[in-house]
Amino acid sequence: MTEKVIYKECCVIGCGISGIAVARWLKKYNFDFVVLEKSNDIAGLWRYRENDYGVMSFTYINISKYNYCFSDYQFPKDTVELMHHSQIYEYVKSYMNMHNLYDYTKFNHQVILLEELNKSDALYSENLRFPNLDTYERLWKLTVKVENREIVYISPYVAVASGHHYDPKNVKFPGQETFPGEIIHSVKYKNAKFNKMVGKKVLLVGIGDSSVDIADNLVTQGECQNVTISSRRGSWVFPSYISGYTTDLYPSRFILSLPWQYTTIFYENLIRFICGDPKKYNLNPKYRAFKYQPTVTQSLYHHIQRKKVTIQPNIKEISGNEVTFSNGAKENFDSIIMCTGYDIRIVFLSNDLKKEVFDPLSEAFLNLYKLVFTPKYESNIAFIGFVQSHTGGILSISEIQARWFVYLMLKKTKLPSHKEMTENINLFKKNIENRFYKSPRHTLQVDPLLYNDEISSFFGAKPNLIQNPALAWRIMFTSCGSAQWRINGPDALPDAIQIVKRVPIPPLNTFIAEMLDKFIDLTKPFQKYLEYPKEYNPRVHGPYNPAQYYGKPDPLSQVKVGEVGQWLSRRNFSLPAMRSALGRAMWAYRLKYIAPKKANAAFVFHFIFFTYTLNYFIYEYPVRKHHTWAIYH
15-52: pLDDT as tens digits: 999 999 999 999 999 999 999 999 999 999 999 998 88
pLDDT value at 520 more than 70 = no
- Same domain (yes/no): 158, 215: no
- Distance of alpha carbon 632 from alpha carbon 622, whole angstroms: 15
From 340, 370, 385, the end of a domain falls on 340
Q: What band does 440 get if pLDDT is binned at 50, 70 and 90?
A: confident
Does residue 436 sit in the same domain as residue 472? no
> What is the separation of C-alpha 150 from the centre of its chain, rounded to a whole number of angstroms?
39
Closest Cα partner for 241 from 324, 161, 304, 298? 298
Q: What is the pLDDT of residue 433?
A: 87
Residues 299 and 360 in one domain: no
Q: Are residues 63 and 128 in the same domain?
A: yes
Q: State yes or no: pLDDT of 431 exceeds 70.
A: yes
pLDDT of residue 80: 95
Name, in order, each residue with C-beta under 8 angstroms of 390's C-beta and a sequence gap of 6 or more: 293, 294, 445, 446, 447, 448
Cα–Cα dist 217/9, whole Å:
46
CATH code, 294: 3.50.50.60
Q: List the end-to-end C-alpha distance of the chain, in Å, as a whole number.
A: 74
Residues 201, 336, single domain; the answer is yes
Is there a contact between 187 and 53 (Cβ–Cβ < 8 Å)?
A: yes
Look at residue 632 in the predicted model and tell me its pLDDT: 27
pLDDT value at residue 623 = 42
Q: Residue 540's Cα: distance from chain center in Å?
A: 58
pTM: 0.81
In the chain, % helix, strand, coil (3-state, to 5) comes to 40, 15, 45
Q: Which of 459, 482, 509 is the last residue of a domain?
A: 459
- Under a CB-based contact definition with an 8 Å cutoff, are residues 68 and 445 in contact? no
Nearest to 220 by CA among 60, 54, 45: 60
Are residues 303 and 190 part of one domain? yes
- Tell whether 607 and 510 lie within a shared domain: no
- Quote the pLDDT of residue 534: 64
What pLDDT shows up at residue 52?
A: 85
Please write the tens of the pLDDT for every residue from 215-246. Answer: 999 999 999 988 999 999 999 999 999 989 99
Q: 427 and 446, same structural domain?
A: yes
Counting the structural domains of the chain, the total is 4
Q: Which of 499, 520, 541 is the last residue in one of the domains?
A: 520
Q: Which residues pair with 158 in a beta bridge?
A: 11, 381
- Tell me: do 174 and 271 sit in the same domain: yes
Mean predicted confidence (pLDDT) in 532-538: 61
CA atoms within 13 A on the CB side of 237: 29
**Same-domain check for residues 563 and 589:** yes
Same domain (yes/no): 8, 138: yes
Write the CA distances from 14 to 115, 324, 442, integer angstroms.
17, 42, 23
Q: What is the DSSP string of 479-538?
A: ---GGGGGSSSTT--TTHHHHHHTS---HHHHHHHHHHHHHH--SHHHHGGGSPPTT--H
Q: How confident is the model at residue 579 (pLDDT cuts 50, 70, 90)?
A: low
Helix extents (H) in 140-284: 209-220, 253-257, 260-275
Alpha-carbon gap, residue 537 to 236, rounded angstroms: 65
- What are the residue ranges of helices labelled H in 312-417? 351-357, 395-409
- Cβ atoms of 109 and 38 closer than 8 Å: yes
What is the rounded CA–CA span in Å between residue 145 and residue 277?
Answer: 53
323-333, pLDDT tens digit by residue? 999 999 999 99
Domain around 424 = 2-165+344-459
Asked if the model's pLDDT at residue 453 lies above 90, the reply is yes
Higher pLDDT, 615 or 325: 325
Helices (H) and strands (E) in the chain, counts: 19, 26
> Is residue 331 within a helix (H) or strand (E), and if so which, with residue range?
strand 330-332
**Per-residue confidence (pLDDT) for residue 624, from 0 to 100:** 41
Other CB atoms within a 10 A radius of the CB of residue 406 amount to: 25
Looking at residue 213, its pLDDT comes to 96
Say yes or no: 448 and 477 in one domain: no
CA distances from 193 to 60, 212, 217, 395 (A): 18, 17, 10, 31
By three-state DSSP, how is residue 315 classified? strand
Report the range of poorest mean pLDDT among 41-45, 408-412, 598-602.
598-602
